[in-house]
Amino acid sequence: MEALIENKYNFTNQTNHYVGKVRDVYSVGDDLLVMIVSDRLSAFDVVLPKGIPFKGQVLNQIAQHFLNATSDIIPNWLQNTPDPIVSVGKKAVPFKVEMVIRGYMTGHAARTYASGLRTLCGVALPEGLKENEKFTEPIITPTTKADVGHDEDISREDILSEGIVSEADYIQLENYTRALFQRGTEMAAEMGLILVDTKYEFGKDSEGKIILIDEIHTPDSSRYFYKEGYEDRLNKGEEQRQLSKEFVRKWLIENGFQGKEGQDVPFMSDSFISEISERYIELFQIIVGEKFVKGDTSNIENRVFENVEKYLSEL
């Protein structure tokens, strides 16, 4: 099984190429983006040396599934998926904030709370909350969208006072965020899952309309719990069963790696790579509720180029 780790394409009318941790984004002409979701795996802000076969396809097709399922709430950037790991859509000017929404006291929120703080991004948190407990209603905890380095927590008040987003636009972003999270929560429940928290990114298209961009509700951008046993584990103070890439982070920690200076990524055997690949496929099937159909990886680099070029030539 081949994995697509690096790609340096030169598509017809290509104007720019941006390489992220996992995604490669090609600008084509004035208003088109070709996003290739590679098989690279990132953990602790480090791209691991080996690719995971089918990981890119899993993430791309989950995002496609949810973008299509929420297009009645807000228009999005996606126009087509000419290849299992490729999405093509319209370019937008991104807002400089990511809209993080949390339904449960988990992860960063739980760590902040445990440190003694009772506000997160300007949102007041009541006393007596337990880790993984459901909030009375979901809270929005935005972050800055950093070009370099880590994103930082920011409050609604600071976003408005610093002029990062206008008040009218920000109110609309909040409304979209809550509506998308509600839809994602309902869809997760149908699959026996709890959508715990997630993030959304928005931009403005060439006509000045707000649209949803990037991925949504994937295991890389969201946290899911299994619904079965949630209450029992919460009452006993036990860890929740998660549907995410947390198992990879756990393995890295057990093998002495947390992305800190001087630490080396542990050797990842072919059997462990296969295990990660199968876990991602399992994630797809549980979240989407459909059988995963593996793309042909015998010459994945050529396959992607030919499929994208064919699509662009037909526009």
Cα–Cα distance measured from residue 177 to residue 140, given in angstroms and rounded to the nearest whole number: 8
Please state the domain count of the chain: 2
DSSP type of residue 220: T
Domain interval for residue 71: 14-92+244-313
pLDDT for residue 48 = 92
What pLDDT is attached to residue 104?
98
What pLDDT is recorded for position 147? 63
Residues in the chain: 315
Statement to judge: residues 255 and 299 lie in one domain:
yes
Residue 309 burial class via C-beta count within 10 angstroms: exposed 0-12, middle 13-18, buried 19 and up: middle
pLDDT < 70 regions, the chain? 146-150
Please tell me whether residues 236 and 274 are part of one structural domain: no
- Asked if 231 and 158 sit in the same domain, the reply is yes
Last residue of a domain, one of 243, 277, 298: 243
- Residue 45's pLDDT is 80
Residues 249 and 309 in one domain: yes
The string of pLDDT tens digits covering residues 123-142 is 999 999 999 999 999 999 99
**Tokens, residue 214:** 């990037």
Residues 233, 248 share a domain:
no
Between CA 309 and CA 305 the distance in angstroms is 6
Could you tell me if 78 and 35 lie in one domain? yes
Domain finish residue from 225, 243, 261: 243
Helices 167-190 and 55-69: crossing angle in degrees, nearest 10, is: 110
d(CA 216, CA 195): 12
Tell me the per-residue pLDDT of 203-213, one tens digit each, with 9 for 90 and over.
Answer: 999 999 999 99
pLDDT digits (tens, 9 = 90+) for 4-47: 999 899 999 999 999 988 999 999 999 999 999 999 998 888 89
Predicted pLDDT at 246: 77
* Residue 253 domain flag: yes
With respect to residue 23, please indicate whether it lies within any of the assigned structural domains. yes
Task: Answer whether residue 2 is part of any domain.
Answer: no
CA dist 167 → 142, 159, 170, 180 (Å): 14, 9, 5, 20
pLDDT at 21: 87
CA distance 188 to 159: 31
Per-residue model confidence (pLDDT) at position 150: 62
CATH of the domain at 40: 3.30.200.20
Give phi and psi for 168, each to the nearest 5.
-60, -45
Residue 285: its pLDDT value, please? 96
- 212 and 305 part of one domain: no
Are 178 and 202 contained in the same domain?
yes
Question: CA torsion angle for 58, 60, 61, 62 (degrees, to 10)?
Answer: 80
Read off the tokens for 186: 């309902």
Would 86 be classed as within a structural domain? yes
How far out from the chain centre does Cα 239 lie?
22
